Structure 1
Amino acid sequence: MQIIFGPVQSRRFGESLGVDLSPQIKQCNYDCLYCELKGKKPQESMKEVLEVETILNAIKHGLATFPNVESLTITANGEPTLYPYLYELMLRLEDIKGDKQTLLLTNGALLWDTCIARACLLFDKVKFSLDAVSTDVFKKIDRAHKNIKLEQVLQGIYQFSADFKGELYAEILFIKGVNDNAQEIQAMARFLAPMLLKRLDISSIDRPPAYKVEPISLQELEKIRAVFLNYGIPVFIPKRITVTHQENLRLDRESILKTLALRPMSQNDITLLWSAETREILQSLVESQNVKIKCINGINFYDLR
């Protein structure tokens, strides 16, 4: 069971150690078209729940192994806010994280719940996803659990944005022919405009997705960016960062599979971040067909699907 993964070189948040609150199975209240994880029917709550102590022990070991990471990214093989002990975890994490920043990656679906929002307020940084503000597009792209209502989701995001004192980020991922129409873009810009966002990241598919969907071009993203800028929103189109130093990370077979299950990695990432021994193990996994190589937008990715 691999709770800790990485370090991962994020194009937006630097070098981070990932903390997976659902390491065994995917547990999410969405089944997004673009998800990097294998598609699965959405669920309302976690069926397999780790003890807080188990997660904290894994974090301690991870920080001892990789003391120079910049942050701890709380995520899940699915949606981290489904974890029922998130508030307790964050309170106790304060005692062991030192100067590391804490980042939550969430779909934002449960921020309307006061208990969940209370836990999320303890993070240094929170990044939520917003893929649609109209019901028909929301149902098509996010494929949420039947009990999730878009109006409630949007109200929760808006209220959380007013209460949160840390750095708040938003992300919109555009899919060709799904949420890239002018009306939806304008509506999303109007929704986000009143919020004090540190940054809005807009992007399209650049890693192997769960379903057969197509990205939009960089030129189209630039046009969309102009719409958000007109509303005074600090918007950014993330570019793949170039790592210039060799990390020489040593991972065993299980750790490689865990990392790729959560996040397909490019050839460049692996060459610069992983040790020669680790790359040899990866090559054996490719030869045994446990790992696949897929090309997205001209870049080769190592993936489990």
Structure 2
Amino acid sequence: MTTAFLFPGQGSQAVGMGAALADAFPAAREVFAEVDDALDQRLSLLMREGPEDQLTLTENAQPALMAVSVAVMRALKAEFDVAVTSASFVAGHSLGEYSALCAAGTLSLADAARLLKLRGQAMQRAVPVGRGAMASLIGPKTDLALAEAAAAAGAEVGVCVVANDNNAGNVVISGEKAAVDRAIEKAKELGARAIPLNVSAPFHCPLMAPAAEEMAAALAGAALNAPVVPVVANVTARPETDRETVRRLLVEQVTGRVRWRESMEWMAGEGGVTRFVEVGSGKVLVGMAKRIAPDAESLSLNGPTDLEAFIRV
């Protein structure tokens, strides 16, 4: 069985995430303590107790989700002797790419936490609140071609692009509000449902260029190692092992499209992956995996009972 570990992105956060892991496994507690120290913030308490509106803030949600994912991986290794090298690939959705890189040894835990904190702050600073918007285009008629056509209509009045190509039936557009509104109208004409997303900024679009500049400066000074497992990058939808390529792609990812459908199709096809394991909070990526690669096994590792069941498989 060929395995890929998948790491979730923003939207999978929930108050209480990671609490059962911390209660059950010393290795998980150590991860949360190290992240708290790196950020000089009681992020673990916010994750455990909320309030939800503070956890949902981009600058908190991003390092928090990474911490839970890495806590799962550290607990797997410490308690059950299952290492990241048992997988053929790792991949993460948007911020989840940092989780994947940390799990694969490219980034230290402290650096990943600090970079994600900055990433969230930089993304929020890049665009004034209210100027940008995102929308999810969904339904059986929704595919990349439909989303591209809708985005092109929006681009007639402002910045509007496809931000996340998640899977057939779920594509996200991002850009200036007026442009996204126009794109929503076009998407509906083409037979898709369009749901405006409750986000604080228009992620993965050219409006994020100031945030990309901030991340380029931060990443230039970060120590990166070659990943011990190939990381399938959002920007290329292909496995990457060169640390300087990874550094460049993390910058490009801020404004670039999350090519998740293509990444999953490559892993399930050329990559030969037969089992996708979502590591961390939520089950969003498992749902996508079942739609993109229905013949592969898909499961999630959220809490202690999931880990115990996983090692018995």
TM-score by length of 1: 0.29
Higher relative contact order (CA 8 A, sep 6+): 2
Structure (1/2) with the larger helix percentage: 2
TM-score by length of 2: 0.28
